[in-house]
Amino acid sequence: MNQPSDVISDAALAPYNSFSLQARARYLYLLREPAQLTELFRWIYANDLPWLVLGSGSNVLLLEDFAGVVIINQLAGITLSETKSDYYLDVAAGEDWPSLVEWSVQQGILGLENLALIPGTVGAAPVQNIGAYGVELADVCQQVEFFSIAEQQQQCLSPAQCEFAYRDSIFKHALKDKALITRVKFRLTKQWQAKLNYGGLRELGEGASAQQIFQQVIGMRQQKLPDPKVLGNAGSFFKNPVLNQQQLQQLMVKVPAIPVYPASAGSSKVAAGWLIDRLGLKGFQHGGAGVHQQQALVLVNHGQATAADILSVCRHIRHQVWQNFALVLEPEVRFIGAHGEVNPDTVLGRPDASQ
């Protein structure tokens, strides 16, 4: 089978990952219409090529050159409809998430404002159930549409079928490498209520408007998070550990002041960034990579970092956190090797391996 005419050979991936790492792809494909997928995947299968879909590449660590096809999702289009009680947004997966949030707030379609300025595409948002300031994608999602690679057709999932959890969904498990998300539908109630449970928003007071929340979230994010266009990074590098009561009590003996947040089923989430900061690792550097000066959970590329530099910093942090707090930090960022995603523990080794 012939190579589709718009496949680009030997492409640079630096513009397509927010760490700005200098990896290359054997092939690159800009996806603009869902109809392109059938022919593309026929060719991919005929040639037994690995494939990877990226949106803005703001949650990936490219460990090396990719040996197959990197598909850049550029599917575009937003459709708005409404009933007496709700607005419905039907959004193509390549749309830019921060722009969608800004546009919806401007239109008076409210409910996304707490999720302002999270980099990336709409199609990647369900994958790790993006969340910030007390709201997750799961709270506003009505349906996720995807191209099933095995069935070669579009399919839909309800939010319950997506199995959303903290930074998690079915797209990281049963549908990993089997689904390419093409559209996400949102239901936003007209009976809008401000979500002000998170620090930094409470001070706005009960009467806060969505516009005020939007501005406040943007202000806070700009203050503490580096802009990937200026300093390469992928946001929070690690997930916040989720602990049961016993684990939490053990940790609190060592660090009674650690911030704790409620998580599902009686468990608690603790702030990984606070633990890293406590170890004095803000500003720690190895090669071209380091821990951000203002936000200990963010690893940055100071300009010339390689993936190996970032791995060294990551390994050092995991080791220190294990030694001091007996916790193993799990990366939130997805590790991508030459043939697809790889398990971070395989690449890094586990700090608790010898216990």
Ligand X SMILES: Cc1cc2nc3c(=O)[nH]c(=O)nc-3n(C[C@H](O)[C@H](O)[C@H](O)COP(=O)(O)OP(=O)(O)OC[C@H]3O[C@@H](n4cnc5c(N)ncnc54)[C@H](O)[C@@H]3O)c2cc1C
Residues of this chain that interact with ligand X (CB under 6 A) are 18, 52-60, 73, 93, 118-121, 123-125, 127-128, 130-132, 171, 179-181, 225, 228, 233-235, 334
Among 58, 145, 167, 318, the active-site one is 167
CB of 55 to ligand X, least distance (A): 2
Specify the residue, 235 or 290, whose C-beta has the smaller distance to ligand X.
235
Residue 78's DSSP bridge partners are 91
Specify the residue, 120 or 241, whose C-beta has the smaller distance to ligand X.
120
Specify the residue, 50 or 319, whose C-beta has the smaller distance to ligand X.
50
CB of 59 to ligand X, least distance (A): 3
Is residue 332 flagged as an active site residue?
Answer: yes
Specify the residue, 119 or 351, whose C-beta has the smaller distance to ligand X.
119
Specify the residue, 66 or 284, whose C-beta has the smaller distance to ligand X.
66
Specify the residue, 297 or 317, whose C-beta has the smaller distance to ligand X.
297
CB of 72 to ligand X, least distance (A): 8
CB of 51 to ligand X, least distance (A): 9
Is residue 58 flagged as an active site residue?
Answer: no
* CA separation, residue 7 to residues 43, 72, 79 (Å): 11, 11, 29
Is residue 167 flagged as an active site residue?
Answer: yes
CB of 246 to ligand X, least distance (A): 28
3-state secondary structure the chain: CCCCCCCEEEEECHHHCCCCCCCEEEEEEEECCCCHHHHHHHHHHHCCCCEEEECCCCCEEECCCEEEEEEEECCCCEEEEECCCEEEEEEECCCEHHHHHHHHHHHCCCCCHHHCCCCCEHHHCCCCCCEECCEEHHHCEEEEEEEECCCCEEEEECHHHHCCECCECHHHCCCCCCEEEEEEEEEEECCCCCCCCCCCCHHHCCCCCHHHHHHHHHHHHHHHCCCCCCCEEEEECECCCEECHHHHHHHHHHCCCCCEEECHHHCEEECHHHHHHHCCCCCCEECCEEECCCCCCEEEECCCCCHHHHHHHHHHHHHHHHHHHCCCCCECCEEEECCEECCHHHHHCCCCCCC
Among 95, 236, 268, 334, the active-site one is 236
CB of 39 to ligand X, least distance (A): 18
Among 58, 113, 332, 334, the active-site one is 332
Please identify every residue annotated as catalytic. Answer: 167, 236, 332
